[in-house]
Amino acid sequence: MRLALFGGGRIGRVHADSIAGHPRAELAWVCDPMPDAAQAVAARHGATATADVDAVLADRSVDAVVIASSTPTHVDLLTRAVRAGKAVLCEKPIDLDIGRVDACWAEIGSADANVMVGFNRRFDLSFRELRDRVHAGEIGRIEQLTIISRDPAPPPAEYVAKSGGLFRDMAIHDLDMARFVLGDIVEVQATGANLVEDYIEDCGDIDSGVVVLRSAAGALCHITNSRRCTFGYDQRLEAFGSDGMLTVYNQLPTSVRYAGPDRTEAARPYLDFFLERYGPTYHAELDHFVTAVEKGDRPEPGFADGRAALALADAAEESMRSGRTVRPS
């Protein structure tokens, strides 16, 4: 299968590596408005660099595209790629504005079956194992889900300013994880605080957040976020059910522990940030996408999942502003 990549930035390079490393995929094009960025990525994997979207979409040998460009370009590229008959793997979020997302969805209609949204954490081995074991009934009926998700360090002010806010930019992964494990969400409560960096508050954003969800099946979910964590990338999940509990603990770089006069069983800091902790998920995500396209299956998570996570982030934002429980749209 031949793929084209839109976006030659950090996350674009991650996808380029995944495509190049996949036994049944080939990176045909790298498309970026910045020629140098496109060229650097393309050269590494023997692909063709371009800034011309139409040229890429007109290439009938290209089966699928990966959209890893800046967020505001997602909707346009996704729509055009779908119209051009390509399967699409689009980085999250589809857009920060749910109105634009809904308009896009109306536009592509049932072709959403060919769109996958890049919630890569669903492909983490530990999270997926928890989900699968929960769905297999190992802990009975799931009643409570605890998600702890803290980034090692806050992004710079310019990123924060355009990010859509902590709930849409960061918690959205956790909101999708809640849906992945619990299914549909019907109620959202949220609150936030400014504890980490003044410039985040100056951007009108929070740096610490708590979201409480209720699922359609009645389970309660609690998400804790922080933009800064001194001991690594804090990424945990705990499912509590009528018959037991499953926990995903943080992951360590090695299995070495130290004991000495002032401490015992001390491990090193946790795996740092997403390329280290979640690196393998990008390969698994691409493999799922490639396999689904090959088989004509609907890839998951799909457009509807991307839309739903954004609606939950919007609801969290509204709940924080109003101090009220909100039903997601």
Residues 6+ apart with CB under 8 A from 137: none
Counting contacts by CB under 8 A, is residue 256 touching its own copies? yes
Q: Kindly state whether residue 138 participates in binding its own copies, applying the rule CB under 8 A.
A: yes
Instruction: Give yes or no for residue 136 binding its own copies (CB under 8 A).
Output: no
Crossing angle of the two packed helices 171-182 and 125-135, in degrees rounded to 10: 30
Does 275 participate in binding its own copies (rule CB under 8 A)? no
Stretch binding its own copies (CB under 8 A), from 31-39, 102-110, 231-239, 284-292: 231-239
Q: Which of 15, 23, 24 is nearest to 91 (CA)?
A: 15
Rule CB under 8 A: say whether 125 interacts with its own copies.
yes
Cis ω before 93 (30° cut-off from 0): yes
Give, to the nearest 10 degrees, the angle between helix 171-182 and helix 303-322: 120
Between CA 252 and CA 271 the distance in angstroms is: 6
The single residue among 136, 264, 295, 296 that binds its own copies, judged by CB under 8 A, is 264
CA-to-CA distance for 80 and 159, rounded, in angstroms? 27
Q: Would you count residue 267 as binding its own copies (CB under 8 A)? A: yes
Residue 262 DSSP class: T
Count of residues in contact with its own copies, rule CB under 8 A: 70
Smallest gap from residue 120 Cβ to its own copies (A) = 16
84 within 8 A of 58, measured Cβ to Cβ = yes
Do 65 and 47 meet the contact criterion of CB atoms below 8 Å apart?
no
Q: Tell me which of 28, 49, 116, 148 binds its own copies, using CB under 8 A.
A: 148
Q: How far apart are CA 270 and CA 235, in angstroms?
A: 9
316 binds its own copies (CB under 8 A): no
Residue (29 or 127) nearer to its own copies, CB: 127
Q: Does 304 bind its own copies (CB under 8 A)?
A: no
At residue 23, φ and ψ (nearest 5 deg) are: -65, -25
From the list 59-67, 154-162, 183-191, 289-297, the region that binds its own copies by CB under 8 A is: 183-191
Residue from 232, 299, 306, 328 binding its own copies (CB under 8 A): 232
Residues 185-224 binding its own copies (CB under 8 A) are 187, 189, 191, 193-196, 208-210, 212, 214, 218-220, 222, 224
Q: Which of 247, 280, 298, 329 binds its own copies (CB under 8 A)?
A: 247
For 304, other C-beta atoms within 10 Å of its C-beta total 13
Looking at residues 41 to 70 of the shown chain, list those that interact with its own copies (rule: CB under 8 A): none
Q: At what angle do helices 98-108 and 303-322 cross, to 10 degrees?
A: 160
Residue 78 as a binder of its own copies (CB under 8 A): the answer is no
**C-alpha 204, offset from chain centre:** 23
* CA distance linking residue 272 with residue 151, whole number of Å: 9
CB of 39 to its own copies, least distance (A): 20
Binding-site ranges for its own copies (CB under 8 A):
125-126, 129-130, 133, 138-139, 141, 143-144, 146, 148, 150, 187, 189, 191, 193-196, 208-210, 212, 214, 218-220, 222, 224, 226, 228-232, 234, 240, 242-270, 323-325
